[in-house]
Structure 1
Amino acid sequence: MGSFKGHVVPGTLFLLVGAWHVWSSIVRYVSNPKMFRVRVWSPVQGFDGRVKHLELWVIAIGAFIDLCIELLYSTHLKFFVDGILNPHHMNDFEHSGMLLMFFIFGVVALLSEKTRRRSTESVN
């Protein structure tokens, strides 16, 4: 179970998001090479804009779920042993730190996208 939850689930999520990002970048480049710009995330086109931020939601929610698994379930809430970080769960702490950064990225990018329109609309 350790390998499954620690590598297969988040690895599959990273693979899917990465494949989407590469595909989207190729399509944007082929569509208009002169206007192509590298993006941190790729909006989903169509569906009247309802799923535009799907990539960011997948990153934020996926990272949060796996962060909870790594930090809460895997460690059995035994963070400290004899006053120091539990040496048996250093890998879980490392994964948690990485997942926290992905979660923060997803949330900040979503907030930036959701609030940007409102602030520019009020200026005009």
Structure 2
Amino acid sequence: MGTLIGHVAPGFGFILIGLWHLFNHTKLHSLNPKTYASLPWFSSRFFRYIEPTLIIIGSLISIAMELFIGPANGQPLDPDWSIPSNHLHNFEHSSISLAFLTYALFAVILDRARLPDPGLKHGLTQLAAAVAFGQQLLMFHLHSADHMGVEGQYHWLLQLVIAVSLGSTIIGIWKPRSFLVSFVRSISILFQGVWFVTMGFALWTPGLIPKGCFMNSEDGHWVVRCGDQGSLERAKSLVNIEFSWFLVGMVFFSMGFYLAVRRWYVDVEREYLGLDEEVESEDLESQKKLDESESFVHMGKGFKSLDLER
């Protein structure tokens, strides 16, 4: 992180996972509304562990970028093996990635483990996800970067979204059959991705810097600074307005997405049920005709036997 690509790349990762969860939870609930139970992650017909594998790969790339590729000398430490001040944020960001890497690894390990209770398996996986979100929230709250400027305002609002992800994940351990909890969790993950991408473009694109502010190089990375207090307050207000618009947009999108997916799968289910009923009615009609023809034959035989007796 700390650069445009450092925010946009993980942002797209969160968007992908959020959409994947939003789609699968809605599909699962639409097809099984009475027996719905939340899953911590979802498989694909092509590869069962596609989701945790992507998280593992993304986390490893993030750690490598923060600690070995991003620093000018190829490693983040001073010659005496101490952490320099300008690389503290690299270790903070890599710690977040390490937490998500740990979650994804145990998602696979727990799935392959022969645990007697599937609920326990899912609960432990959810617990690992909650720890990852808790680590993320802690690192951004105690971030070594500026907390007072425009970037700090973006990070403060991001913490609100992460808190929702953390809270809904913890509640999901307690209430695995609640679709609303899973729905909110999916939206919060998606919102994290959208806000990460927004931060990347808004903080490292000169043309998007608020009026009265500028980009300043500090400790080897660029930071948005404002010329006076009035410009800073205006920039923060613009960030707040931006967040509120994105929040309304996320509600609008998620509700529409839910209705579209549910309608699709309910209509498909009804179509199959309708075909089954049609086939069943045809079978009943055929059986009725067969019974009538057999009855006619039996009646004919009866009349014939009566004639013979006479």
TM tier relative to shorter chain: 0.7 to 0.9
1:30 — aligned with what? Answer: 30
User: Between Structure 1 and Structure 2, whose CA radius of gyration is higher?
Assistant: 2
Q: C-alpha deviations, 1:73-118, integer Å up to 9, x for none?
A: 223313247775211122211110000011111111112223438x
With over 3 angstroms needed to count, the CA separation of the structure-2 counterparts of 1:43 and 1:83, relative to structure 1, is closer
Contact 2:67 2:76 (C-alpha < 8 Å) held by counterparts: no
Secondary structure of residue in 1 paired with 2:24: helix
Partner Cα separation in structure 2 for residue 19 and residue 91 of structure 1:
29
Alpha-carbon deviation of 1:16? 0.5
TM normalised by structure 1 equals 0.78
The farther-off stretch of 24-33 and 2-11 is 2-11
User: Normalising to structure 2: TM-score of the pair?
Assistant: 0.34
| 1:71 to 1:5, Cα distance in 2 relative to 1, 3 A | farther
| Aligned mate of 1:73, from 50, 69, 74 | 69
Identity of paired residues, percent?
30
Q: CA deviation at 1:7?
A: 0.7
Aligned pair count reads: 113
Q: Among residues 51, 59, 62, which one is paired with 1:63 in the alignment?
A: 59
Per-residue displacement from partner, 1:3-39 (whole Å, max 9, x unpaired)? 2331111111111111101111111111111221222
Q: 1:105 aligned to 2:114?
A: no
RMSD: 2.3
Per-residue CA deviation, residues 44-79 of structure 1 (Å, 9 max, x unaligned), is 2x34xxx12110111111111111111212233132
Distance in 2 (alpha carbons) for counterparts of 1:56 and 1:105: 8
- List gaps (5 residues or longer) in structure 1: 118-124
Partner of 1:121: none
SS across alignment from 1:33: coil
